[in-house]
Chain A
Amino acid sequence: MKRLNFSEEPRDIWVVAETHAGKLAPLTLELTYGARTMADLMGFYVKVALSGSDVTDLASQLFPVGADRVYVADDPRLAEFAVEPWLKVLSDLFVSQPPEFAMLGATSIGDALAPRLAQRFGAGLISRCVMLKVDDFERAFVGRRAAFGGEYYEVLTTAGAKSHFATVLPDTFGAPYPDASRYGEIESIAVNLDGVVAKIKTIGPVDYALPAPKLKNARRIVSVGRQVGDIDAAKSLATKLGAELAGAREAIDEKYIDESHVVGVTGERVSADLYVALGIRGDTMHTYGMKGARYVVAVHPDPDAPILKQADAAIVGDPAKVAKELIELLN
């Protein structure tokens, strides 16, 4: 492979675009806008690599959100995403125009391409950023990534690397403010896919059940901990609400639930509309799994139980008694 020459400063921030159903992905517009903000700070250009089939007409939509130049690889063989051809196109582009900074979406496409590009070009890479900035002193990316499912963040830097890549989750930069007066250039690039074979063949949709899918998809959950008091009251409430019964890990010891019904770090991450936690203290190991729930009700006898601070509605009291009252009220 041709060696990259980083002695001549590139002074660009690149965005790798994605399209869906003939439209630019909203995340691509957001990243281009984020790149613009960074580029203005650094005195850089924003360049976008747009690959696909029949995508040339979309390029001009990138100017109002901040692109200075869009490189378009428009080829029927790029109609569907496949690792090898896309990698070849981007790699050829980045060999001819070494990027100092490049952003991809933290999507299945970005997750497949960014690590390979970073490995190939020896770039620093911060994956799945929820915050991303350029450090203008170090000339590097500084990004935040969730640790332990978002309990806290790790702040990472690519300082010292010769080029800087990141994949970015939606809502990191916020909705773009388009500026209709902005303009830019479109350059179509020659696509050379000689000898490149897409090695993954898609066969089609399959039915597959993960070991414990029921809880994950449940719309309502009644979840019990050691302090539930009366498990039968909790079970009746679950029946009344049409909810799945689940619990904290400690509830297994009490034989309230089995291994497949634990919510938390070592169990399921749920996304129910209603999560009723009865007698669960709310250790972070547990609350990790409940964060995706829309509305959390917690009942615990101890006013200092951490779960009461995280619930949307918190009752200090006897969980079984509250459960029985709820059943009465719902009848």
Chain B
Amino acid sequence: MKIVVCIKQLLDPRGITVNRKAEKVFVIREEYVLDPASKAALEVAEQIKANAAAIEIIALSVGPARVDEALREALARGADRAIWIRSDSNPDPKVITNLLAAAIKQLGPIDLVLCGDRSLDTGSGEIAARLAEALDWPQILRAAKAEVKGRVLAAIVQHSGFVAVETPLPAVVSIIAEAFSGQHANGGRLMDAYKKWQVETWTTEDLSLSEDDLRTSTIKKEDAFPPARQPGTKVRNAKDLVVMLKQEKIIA
């Protein structure tokens, strides 16, 4: 059985500051990390593999050369193969989907595709459903957990609880970032990911796509900013604070 995990790399939030007054996002340190929802998807793939025999996990990432690092982390987190789909332009969700779908078709019969439900930075949350459309597969969105038993069984977020759903394979499942356990990548595997294992490179030419498939349909114009936050009320001491908390009915 083969599982594809789509992973996204994004700007490390620790490296940016947002100045609402200046209406600017300052990139202090340009460092990139694996999107938390993608990490959660990798973790689910690893769990499925731990409970079944002969499962191959293939990590795919669309982006410029820097995504190599994300793919090596994916190898450290249990992926057996990692493929960089080279894209130097600024692809939108439609183009990312077309590239991923073409790669998935080329990889031969794939049973399950896992994505993050929504990425942390400027996530569209569209990729899983778009992939389901491109592949003509069923989709399960917002799963916290997924298991494979001939079919895929998942716990999805609904209202304030979870609902179990199932669908036949092949299928696309998106995993919420909150499902991630916080586990670090295995140190030994991380070393191997850099020293022993390879990241394969595929270009758009390797994937049979039309010009139309690669044309973006949604583009970013600019950033916008909410008004600078109102400064809070300055309180002199604990006594005044207790009065305020009582007034606001926060404590009795």
A160 adjacent to B217 (CB under 8 Å): yes
* Contact A199:B218 (CB < 8 A) given known A115-B130, A116-B129, A119-B134: no
A115 adjacent to B133 (CB under 8 Å): yes
Decide yes or no whether B242 CB sits under 8 A from chain A.
Answer: yes
Give the dominant DSSP class at B's interface: mixed
Q: Which residue of B lies closest to A327 (CB)?
A: B238
Instruction: Identify which of residues 15-62 in chain B touch chain A, using a CB-to-CB cut-off of 8 Å.
Output: 16-18, 20, 25, 36
Query: How close is A295's CB to chain B, nearest CB, in angstroms?
Result: 5
* Contact A124:B18 (CB < 8 A) given known A202-B163, A208-B144, A265-B120: no
Q: How far is the CA of A313 from the CA of B241 in the complex (A)?
A: 7
Most buried by B among A153, A206, A296: A206
B235 adjacent to A150 (CB under 8 Å): no
The digit string for B200-242, where 1 denotes a CB below 8 A from any CB of A, is: 0000000000001000011111111110010111111111011
Which chain B positions have C-beta within 8 A of A295? 245, 248, 250
Q: Which residue of B lies closest to A326 (CB)?
A: B238
Of A40-48, A141-149, A183-191, the one touching chain B = A141-149
Checking A114, A159, A200, A317 against B165 with a beta-carbon cut-off of 8 angstroms, the contacting residue is A200
Q: Count B-side interface residues using an 8 Å CB cutoff.
A: 76
Q: How far is the CA of A119 from the CA of B132 in the complex (A)?
A: 10
Decide yes or no whether A284 CB sits under 8 A from chain B.
Answer: yes
Decide yes or no whether A70 CB sits under 8 A from chain B.
Answer: no
B125 adjacent to A296 (CB under 8 Å): no
The digit string for B128-150, where 1 denotes a CB below 8 A from any CB of A, is: 11101110001111101100000
Which chain B positions have C-beta within 8 A of A260? 182
Q: Which residue of A lies closest to B134 (CB)?
A: A119
* Contact A148:B221 (CB < 8 A) given known A208-B162, A326-B242: no
B239 adjacent to A111 (CB under 8 Å): no
Which chain A positions have C-beta within 8 A of B14? 265, 285
**A interface bracket (residues with beta carbon within 8 Å of B):** 35 or more
Decide yes or no whether A180 CB sits under 8 A from chain B.
Answer: no
Give the dominant DSSP class at A's interface: mixed
Checking B161, B224, B232 against A314 with a beta-carbon cut-off of 8 angstroms, the contacting residue is B232
B232 adjacent to A311 (CB under 8 Å): yes
B217 adjacent to A124 (CB under 8 Å): yes
Which chain B positions have C-beta within 8 A of A313? 232-233, 235, 241, 244-245
Decide yes or no whether A201 CB sits under 8 A from chain B.
Answer: yes
Which chain B positions have C-beta within 8 A of A28? none
A125 adjacent to B232 (CB under 8 Å): no
B251 adjacent to A153 (CB under 8 Å): no
* Contact A155:B163 (CB < 8 A) given known A122-B212, A199-B138, A284-B17: no
Given A124-B217, A329-B238: 14 more A-B contacts, CB < 8 Å: A115-B93, A115-B129, A116-B129, A125-B93, A145-B124, A148-B121, A152-B18, A157-B219, A205-B164, A211-B181, A284-B16, A295-B250, A313-B241, A325-B239
- Chain B contact residues, CB within 8 Å of chain A: 13-14, 16-18, 20, 25, 36, 93-94, 97, 120-122, 124-130, 132-134, 138-142, 144-145, 153, 155, 158, 161-168, 171, 178-182, 212, 217-226, 229, 231-239, 241-242, 244-245, 248, 250-251
